[in-house]
């Protein structure tokens, strides 16, 4: 989940930045607060109120994916806030990595989207303790080159397994997005209820997709370069891939109206147990990114939604329509929400996806 700029010059400048950070590297600023995050989210336009109050951004250190971040935290790495997504929150919490949040210290908590907050076992547990502040949400969706691919040939996500696209496909090196695609392809909307037979069907579908894959992308810069440069013509990618490619003048478009729909994820922030920094600054940061004004940046420049419903309501309707958020219910009706998975099922997916990528 990485950043988008409106103009090519800015997009290229940012891309050069995003190629540098690796897991564990850091952008050092305010030493009283360290945030373990995806590369790109250190953008000061997401937290202007924090900079205004403290004179600088927090220190950011980066991870490549949530499983890597999980292992690093378990090995003793220390940070104050982390940025996992919906399917990982329970895993991180059950591993003892987190401490509860105090919603009374988050000014716009009451304005968080009711639909997102209602997701089972996400923000709160059964006892009512709060562990997660939803912040950004978006889609993984079919994305294609309109000059090389006819829209009628990608009306279904099953196109990813069509032999005509051999060597022209890219999906993320991400087990959650991969199995979300496969679940949609076999007609499943609630992946938490996936049976053994459905797991086999989904895995078989991914094996067919693997025959067409030219590359498994690892971040937005990676897939935008592959799409814009003509290396691949069809991708299963996040919102910002199409937005950034289009901003750079490439004929890349996302298709939300496939027969099976799209996958929707929700990400946000957690407070780590034994966080070494300043607790007040941690809440200052959460308040800063949750301000309604930030939605205009998140939607306009990244193509993502903000969990703050008041913020989304204040975004210009033209921008919302351009980014596909003007009628949220329309695509929610045909989406697979990446809800937290049962641990056993998630482990099966991880093991099987590694086999699939290796050609087995």
Tokens (6 digits) for 155 = 């009306």
Say what the pLDDT of residue 119 is. Answer: 78
How far apart are the C-alpha atoms of 170 and 116, rounded to whole Å? 29
Report the alpha-carbon angle 149-198-241, nearest 5. Answer: 35
36 and 79 Cβ atoms separated by less than 8 Å: yes
* β partners of residue 253: 144
> Domain 8-137+266-326 carries which CATH code?
3.40.190.10
CB 144 within 8 A of CB 111: no
**Cβ atoms of 38 and 321 closer than 8 Å:** no
Domain boundaries, the chain: 8-137+266-326, 138-263+336-357
3 DSSP assignment: -
8 Å CB contact between 97 and 73: yes
Residue 201: HSE in the Cβ half-sphere, 13 Å Cα cutoff: 14
* The model's pTM: 0.77
Choose among 124, 141, 172: nearest CA to 270: 124
Residue 53 structure tokens = 């109050």
Which pLDDT score, from 0 to 100, does residue 25 have? 60
Q: CA-CA distance, 20 to 159, in Å (whole number)?
A: 34
Question: Across 173-258, where does the E strand assignment appear?
Answer: 213-217, 234-238, 252-255
DSSP string computed for 208-235: HHHTTEEEEE-SHHHHHHHHHTTS-SEE
Per-residue HEC secondary structure of 119-186 comes to: CCCCCECCCCCECCEEEEEEEEEEEEECCCCCHHHHCCHHHHHCHHHCCCEEEECCHHHHHHHHHHHC
Say whether 138-263+336-357 and 8-137+266-326 share the same fold: yes
Is domain 138-263+336-357 given the CATH code 3.40.190.10 in the classification? yes
Degrees, nearest 5: CA angle 73-75-80: 30
Low-confidence ranges of the chain (pLDDT < 70): 1-26, 328-333
pLDDT in tens, 175-224: 999 999 999 999 998 898 899 999 999 999 999 999 999 999 988 889 99
DSSP letter string, 76-94: T---SEE--BHHHHHHHHH
The DSSP element (H or E) to which 257 belongs, if any, is none
CA angle 53, 278, 296 (to 5 degrees): 45
- The pLDDT of residue 203 is 98
Q: Are 271 and 85 in contact (CB under 8 A)?
A: no
Q: Measured between alpha carbons, how far is 57 from 27 in angstroms, rounded to an integer?
A: 9
């Amino acid at each position: 989940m990485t950043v988008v700029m409106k103009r090519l010059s800015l997009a290229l400048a940012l891309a050069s930045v995003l190629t540098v950070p690796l897991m564990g590297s850091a952008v050092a600023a305010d030493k009283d607060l360290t945030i373990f995050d995806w590369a790109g989210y250190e953008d000061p336009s997401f937290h202007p109120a924090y900079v205004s109050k403290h004179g600088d951004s927090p220190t950011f250190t980066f991870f490549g994916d949530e499983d890597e971040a999980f292992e690093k935290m378990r090995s003793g790495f220390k940070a104050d806030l982390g940025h996992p997504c919906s399917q990982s929150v329970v895993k991180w919490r059950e591993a003892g990595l987190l401490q509860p949040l105090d919603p009374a210290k988050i000014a716009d908590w009451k304005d968080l989207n009711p639909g997102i907050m209602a997701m089972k076992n996400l923000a709160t547990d059964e006892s009512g303790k709060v562990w997660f502040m939803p912040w950004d949400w978006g889609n993984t969706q079919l994305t294609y080159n309109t000059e090389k691919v006819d829209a009628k040939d990608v009306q279904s996500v099953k196109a990813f397994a069509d032999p005509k696209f051999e060597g022209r496909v890219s999906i993320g090196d991400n087990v959650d997005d991969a199995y979300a695609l496969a679940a949609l392809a076999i007609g499943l909307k609630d992946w938490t209820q996936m049976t053994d037979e459905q797991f086999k069907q989904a895995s078989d579908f991914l094996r067919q997709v693997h025959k067409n894959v030219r590359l498994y992308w690892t971040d937005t810069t990676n897939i935008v370069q592959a799409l814009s440069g003509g290396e691949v013509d069809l991708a299963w990618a996040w919102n910002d891939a199409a937005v950034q490619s289009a901003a750079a003048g490439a004929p890349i478009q996302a298709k939300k109206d496939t027969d099976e729909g799209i996958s929707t994820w929700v990400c946000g922030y957690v407070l780590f147990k034994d966080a070494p920094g300043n607790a007040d600054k941690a809440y200052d940061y959460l308040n800063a990114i949750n301000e309604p004004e930030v939605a205009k940046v998140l939607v306009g420049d990244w193509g993502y939604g903000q969990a703050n419903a008041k913020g989304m309501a204040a975004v210009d309707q033209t921008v919302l329509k351009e980014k596909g958020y003007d009628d949220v219910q329309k695509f929610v009706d045909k989406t697979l929400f990446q809800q937290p998975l049962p641990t056993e099922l998630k482990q099966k997916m991880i093991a099987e996806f590694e086999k699939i990528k290796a050609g087995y």
